[in-house]
Amino acid sequence: MTTKDDRLEFEAHKREMALALGKDEDAFQHALNTLIVLDKYDYAYLWSWMGVPIIQMPADVMATQEVVWNTKPDVIIETGVARGGSMIFMASLLKVIGKGKVVGVDIDIRAHNRDSIEKHPLSPLITLIEGPSTTTETLAKVRAEIPAGASVMVVLDSDHGRDHVLDELRCYGPLVTQGQYIVVADTVLGRADMSQTPTKRSKIWYPGDEPYAAVNTYLKETDRFETDEALNSKLVLSSSPGGYLKCIGK
């Protein structure tokens, strides 16, 4: 029996549903309420990737996977390594793609976390840089890891204060190459109201002093990036709705 090849139709339907979901403020608020309930149980901390703890919502792991698979960057830079799961996750995708490496920057790479990362089978694809993400010295070390002509993606997941994220966007945005993404984590903090602000964190970031505020300021300063509307629209059970920006400029 022959069946109709519906792949294009299937993708078109996915896109249509995602865009409709993005306009459904009621659905977003329901999901946000769920996120806030789950946050009591440190939900984003409950997962690991190939044995290493990853501090992400599952929806963001899926979204990042879609970005990396579609864009196949040569270099992925992540600020905020923590226990390393996100780096291992992105390295595992690059391993299957067959090229590329992940560069991780963290102000404090603890010995036991370095040990887990360096002993992992994917460690040959990973470079660790210890230091504050926005200093001249750290940025020089990051730039030295980017070969000439490489396509570059960036994930910002370190200090989530507005000023720091804006500083990171200004420092790391220019490193992102056309067609690649900069992902700004924890933008959901800017979608919650004061009473919904998660408090079980090392620091508390209130609406206005968080990554979404930084993204909105940065998007007014540059025309190199645009929000990927279809991708962000489906990010309801996510830490980073509105945080996936595509580089459209040279």
Ligand X SMILES: C[S@@+](CC[C@H](N)C(=O)[O-])C[C@H]1O[C@@H](n2cnc3c(N)ncnc32)[C@H](O)[C@@H]1O
Site residues for ligand X per CB under 6 A: 54-56, 78-83, 85-86, 105-108, 132-133, 157-159, 164
User: What tokens does 222 get?
Assistant: 């540059």
CB of 227 to ligand X, least distance (A): 21
User: What tokens does 50 get?
Assistant: 């190939």
Alpha helices, H only, the chain: 7-22, 25-39, 58-71, 85-97, 111-118, 136-144, 162-172, 211-221, 229-233
Residue among 30 and 201 whose Cβ is closer to ligand X: 201
CB of 212 to ligand X, least distance (A): 16
Residue among 40 and 110 whose Cβ is closer to ligand X: 110
Virtual CA dihedral for 204, 78, 225, 31, nearest 10 degrees? -50
Q: 22 — phi, psi (to 5°)?
A: -60, -20
Write b or e for each residue in 62-84: b if 16 or more Cβ atoms lie within 10 A of its Cβ, otherwise e. ebbeebbeebbbbbbbbbbbbbb
User: What tokens does 134 get?
Assistant: 């926005």
CB of 74 to ligand X, least distance (A): 20
Distance separating alpha carbons of residues 238 and 188, to the nearest angstrom: 7
Residue among 74 and 157 whose Cβ is closer to ligand X: 157
CB of 86 to ligand X, least distance (A): 3
Size of the chain, expressed as the number of residues it contains: 250
Residue among 156 and 247 whose Cβ is closer to ligand X: 156
CB of 189 to ligand X, least distance (A): 12
CB of 35 to ligand X, least distance (A): 16
Residue among 160 and 224 whose Cβ is closer to ligand X: 160
Residue among 22 and 113 whose Cβ is closer to ligand X: 113
